[in-house]
């Protein structure tokens, strides 16, 4: 019996991972998992509890009491914390500014990676996006993609998503997140061994999806 098809899509903030991953999953008839949303959901929950996010021990202790549930429909992805739909609030500024601090805590990563692996195991095939999928969550994924774009393009896309008008500030914010995530001790952002780099700087979303679907089809 063959193992389910797992497509791991990693890359820096603002590279277009979410839109691309949903599109690829839809085109290929696969499930979809946004691991970044899970870390955002945990961050939102800890902010609601008033946890000091500069204290890794406090984060670790409080995270055990948080239940994060992620839907896997690429056309209608959902994210809940303790039964509450948090799809909108986890995209707010407070969560965005703090998520890298929470994601750097080993206990949080252990809890959520276990959930991510369970979702992969329960699927008949899945596209998983994040920062450490090919390196840590699913190192045996059949297809590994490292999606990139130049800093200006990433900033413009993120600003369009959030409605921000200062793209220079957005670019600086993305650079800070990438620096933190690339240098954390637990599962840093890296291009995993065997990952194919796809540069979407000068490509449309459909062109990026077409490129990755072609890579997947060739690997089947």
Burial of 97 (0-12, 13-18, 19+ CB in 10 A): middle
Per-residue pLDDT of the chain (220 residues; tens, 9 = 90+): 468 899 999 998 888 899 999 999 999 999 999 999 999 999 999 999 999 999 999 999 999 999 999 999 999 999 999 999 999 999 999 999 999 999 999 999 999 999 999 999 999 999 999 999 999 999 999 999 999 989 888 888 877 777 777 888 888 888 887 787 787 777 777 889 999 999 999 999 999 999 999 999 999 8
DSSP one-letter string for 112-155? HHHHHHHHHHHSSEEEEEESSIIIII-TT-SEEEEEE--HHHHH
Reported as a single tens digit per residue, the pLDDT across 54-77 is: 999 999 999 999 999 999 999 999
Burial 58-68 (b: 16+ CB within 10 A, else e): bbbebbeebeb
Domain encompassing residue 38? 5-219
Candidates 190, 191, 189, 173; CA nearest to 181 is: 189
pLDDT, tens digit, 9 for 90 and up, residues 6-36:
999 999 888 889 999 999 999 999 999 999 9
**pLDDT the model gives residue 176:** 82
CA-closest candidate to residue 114, choices 180, 176, 68, 55: 68
Q: Cα dist. 213→58, 103, 198, 219 in Å? A: 42, 29, 12, 10
For residue 207, the model assigns a pLDDT of: 97
Task: Provide the number of structural domains found in the chain.
Answer: 1
- Tell me which residue of 113, 118, 102, 115 sits closest to 60, measured CA to CA: 102
d(CA 114, CA 190): 20
For residue 11, give the CATH number of its domain. Answer: 3.40.50.300
Residues in the chain: 220
| Model confidence pTM above 0.85 | yes
Query: Of 119, 118, 144, whose CA–CA distance to 133 is shortest?
Result: 144
């Amino acid at each position: 019996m063959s193992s389910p098809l797992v497509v791991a899509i990693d890359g820096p903030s603002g590279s277009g991972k979410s839109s691309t991953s949903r599109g690829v999953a839809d085109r290929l008839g696969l499930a979809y998992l946004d691991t970044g949303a899970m870390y955002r959901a945990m961050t939102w929950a800890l902010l609601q509890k008033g946890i000091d996010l500069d204290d890794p021990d406090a984060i670790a202790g409080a995270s055990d009491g948080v239940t994060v549930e992620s839907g896997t429909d690429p056309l209608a992805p959902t994210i809940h914390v303790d039964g509450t739909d948090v799809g909108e609030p986890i995209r707010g500024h407070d969560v965005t500014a703090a998520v890298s601090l929470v994601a750097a805590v080993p206990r949080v990563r252990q809890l959520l990676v276990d959930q991510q692996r369970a979702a992969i195991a329960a699927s008949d095939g899945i596209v998983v996006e994040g920062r450490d999928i090919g390196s840590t969550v699913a190192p045996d994924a059949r297809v590994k993609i490292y999606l990139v774009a130049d800093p200006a393009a990433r900033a413009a896309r993120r600003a369009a998503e959030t409605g921000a008008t200062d793209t220079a500030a957005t670019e600086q914010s993305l650079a800070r997140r990438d620096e933190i995530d690339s240098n954390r001790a637990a599962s840093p952002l890296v291009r995993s061994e065997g990952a194919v780099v796809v540069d979407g700087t000068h490509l449309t979303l459909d062109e990026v999806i077409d490129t990755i679907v072609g890579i997947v089809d060739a690997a089947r």
